[in-house]
Amino acid sequence: METALVGSALSMTAGTRDLDKNKGKSEVQLTAESLETIFSISEEMDLNGKEGCFSCRQYLAFFIGLKNESLLEPFTYVALSRLKLPGSSEWLTTHAAKVAELKKSLTPKP
């Protein structure tokens, strides 16, 4: 049931793309904002590690961690960079320090 609520939230965030406040935002920027919303909702609903939910047990902690470290946005841009979406290469260049911080956080610790 909780994961269905998250799915509904995802649909609702997609519906906000046409609002005036989102005019001029790039596709990747809207995606990053949607992911931030979805993982915030998942965290508030305490879905991290939820029994019976494979994604909640296997992946959610990683993405909530990125969100809490303010690294979800650079992760989104890096993950989608091969799509060559408008504005993404400029964002990556402008925010090189954030990308470096992301890469450092993803480097395995001894």
User: Which structure tokens are listed for 86?
Assistant: 């408008």
> pLDDT class for 2, splitting at 50, 70, 90?
low
pLDDT band of residue 18 (cuts 50, 70, 90) is low
Sequence ranges of the domains in the chain? 2-106
The band of 5, judged by pLDDT with boundaries at 50, 70 and 90, is low
pLDDT digits (tens, 9 = 90+) for 29-61: 988 988 898 889 888 888 877 787 888 888 889
CA distances from 31 to 5, 47, 49, 54 (A): 19, 21, 24, 23
Distance separating alpha carbons of residues 99 and 110, to the nearest angstrom: 21
Higher pLDDT, 92 or 27: 92
**pLDDT (tens digit, 9 = 90+) per residue, 62-100?**
999 999 999 999 999 999 999 999 989 999 999 999 999
